[in-house]
Chain A
Amino acid sequence: EAGVAQSPRYKIIEKRQSVAFWCNPISGHATLYWYQQILGQGPKLLIQFQNNGVVDDSQLPKDRFSAERLKGVDSTLKIQPAKLEDSAVYLCASSWGLLNTEAFFGQGTRLTVV
């Protein structure tokens, strides 16, 4: 079974530029999550999708971050404009969507904002 795919693996941008990350979840998984992991910390949930609808985006900085999951499969996370403090690994995870099921994580995209 193929895992959660993310691209790119690494990205370096200057502050105030924009950037986008892509995620392809495990086939059949209805729920998709984006997490931000700052160096030395645990991942922090940014947004959760159930199919193509947003379930929870309470921790997403909506003034600069946006995410979409058109057609309920792939998802993109965008930052515009980026700040230095956005430097982190952005992890995508997916699950079947039923309660009590575990989430599987992708390899992540390491973003460095200079």
Chain B
Amino acid sequence: ELKVEQNPLFLSMQEGKNYTIYCNYSTTSDRLYWYRQDPGKSLESLFVLLSNGAVKQEGRLMASLDTKARLSTLHITAAVHDLSATYFCAVDMTYSGGGADGLTFGKGTHLIIQP
């Protein structure tokens, strides 16, 4: 059974600081996704990481993937209040076979950035 663990689950930080969210997963997969969710809203896709060593950046967020370590990181640089949200990593289940590629999500990291 594929398991996805995120840490920390809760993070309160000040504006201007840097921090990293970690995502570990239990079985082989080359595809990892990061989503953002604002309270009461749906999921917004941030990054799709499709290969070992992939690195993607958008504004103050940068995501990377190490498939050998089964680890992805989401790094926040010089945080601003607008980045406050819950961030989820998710791994697809393609390796279960049969064309199934639904996602297994972590529990999410609830990020609060204080002015």
**Residues of chain A having any CB pair with chain B under 8 Å:** 31, 33, 40-45, 48, 50, 55-56, 91, 93, 99-100, 102-108
Task: Kindly identify, within residues 38 to 54 of chain B, every residue whose CB is under 8 Å from any CB belonging to chain A.
Answer: 41-45, 48, 50
| CB neighbours of A50 from chain B (8 A) | 99
Task: Give the distance to chain B from A69, nearest Cβ to Cβ, in Å.
Answer: 14
A104 lies within 8 A of B104 (CB)? no
B105 lies within 8 A of A99 (CB)? no
Indicate which residue in B33, B94, B105 contacts A102 across the interface (CB closer than 8 Å). Answer: B33
B43 lies within 8 A of A43 (CB)? yes
* Extra 11 A-B pairs, beta carbons < 8 Å, given A42-B4, A102-B33: A31-B101, A33-B103, A41-B108, A42-B105, A42-B106, A43-B43, A45-B102, A100-B50, A102-B45, A103-B45, A104-B45
Count of chain B residues with Cβ under 8 Å from any Cβ of A?
A: 27
Indicate which residue in B41, B96, B98, B103 contacts A43 across the interface (CB closer than 8 Å). Answer: B103
| CB neighbours of B104 from chain A (8 A) | 45
Task: Give the distance to chain B from A19, nearest Cβ to Cβ, in Å.
Answer: 19
Cα–Cα distance between A99 and B41 once the two chains are bound (Å): 26
B42 lies within 8 A of A108 (CB)? yes
Interface centre among B41, B50, B99, B101 (most CB of A within 10 A): B101
Indicate which residue in B31, B44, B90, B93 contacts A42 across the interface (CB closer than 8 Å). Answer: B90
* Subset of 23 A-B contacts with CB under 8 Å: A33-B102, A40-B107, A41-B107, A41-B108, A42-B4, A42-B106, A43-B43, A43-B103, A43-B105, A44-B105, A45-B104, A48-B100, A48-B102, A50-B99, A55-B98, A55-B100, A56-B93, A56-B102, A99-B101, A100-B48, A100-B50, A103-B103, A105-B43
